[in-house]
Amino acid sequence: MSPEVIVDGIENLPRSLAALFEDEFRHAAARGRFTVALPGGSVADVFFPHLARLPLDWGRVSFFWGDERAVPPTHPDSNYAAAKARWLDPAGVPASSVFRMPADAPDLDRAAADYEAVLLQQCGNPPRLDLALLGVGPDGHVCSLFNGHPLLEEDTRWVAAIDDSPKPPPRRLTLTLPTLAAARLVVVAATGAAKAAVVKAAQEQPESQLPLALVTRRAERVVFLLDLAAAGKE
């Protein structure tokens, strides 16, 4: 299925994502829970405050993370900390709905295995998230899956540790490509002209090996949320 592409001013995109999120929540309600993986970065800054205002039963949503840096959960670089401040706390999300990725653990491989066990328990075996919300870097990376990295070939684990990230800090946890691609809906939120080239490649080049392209080609349903600059219209 071809991706759906929504292009709008950056001030309007949070409303588009909120409408998608609410619609997917209602579909998932028939299955019992709505499982979602969150990013950090600019997506948290731009989109999370609006999502926090949705009038949903947050006790029926399970929050996971696509990746996390090996920092404490209160650190400014923590994706969990960004979500907590901009979404989880303002919305009053109960602690039982939050499954933090423990990338601050001393043994990252053990932490990856433990998080995978939680994911399997909550999302089935193999795990299938209802929604994977992704940001994208100017280099085309998603989560902590980087261009040319061996983790792009991982097909036996759902969660993996990385200790040689080309972006600091080097130590991280990440969902793997099969986990992201198995989500019922993958939403890619990209803003800014620096993202335009990789977004275009993912949409138009069937041979692209960018992580963004690898995920979106394999996913069942994909929505791109782009501001004018990321869509190459500015």
**Residue extents of the structural domains in the chain:** 29-193
**Residue 234 CB-half CA count within 13 A:** 16
pTM of the prediction?
A: 0.96
Answer whether CATH 3.40.50.1400 is correct for domain 29-193: no
Report pLDDT for 165: 96
Task: State pLDDT tens for residues 140-185.
Answer: 999 999 999 999 999 999 999 999 999 999 999 999 999 999 999 9
Query: Backbone phi, then psi, for 79, in 5-degree steps?
Result: -65, -35
| Alpha-carbon gap, residue 31 to 91, rounded angstroms | 23
Question: Which tokens in the block code for residue 163?
Answer: 């200790």
| Alpha-carbon gap, residue 67 to 102, rounded angstroms | 10
Q: Cis bond leading into 169, ω under 30°?
A: yes
* pLDDT interval class at 31 (50, 70, 90): confident
| Alpha-carbon gap, residue 42 to 229, rounded angstroms | 14
CA dihedral 202→208→212→213, nearest 10 degrees, is 60
8 Å CB contact between 188 and 134: yes
| Alpha-carbon gap, residue 167 to 146, rounded angstroms | 9
H-helix or E-strand containing 204?
helix 196-204
The structure tokens 């009053």 sit at: 92
Mean pLDDT of the chain: 96
Task: State pLDDT tens for residues 74-128.
Answer: 999 999 999 999 999 999 999 999 999 999 999 999 999 999 999 999 999 999 9
Report pLDDT for 223: 98
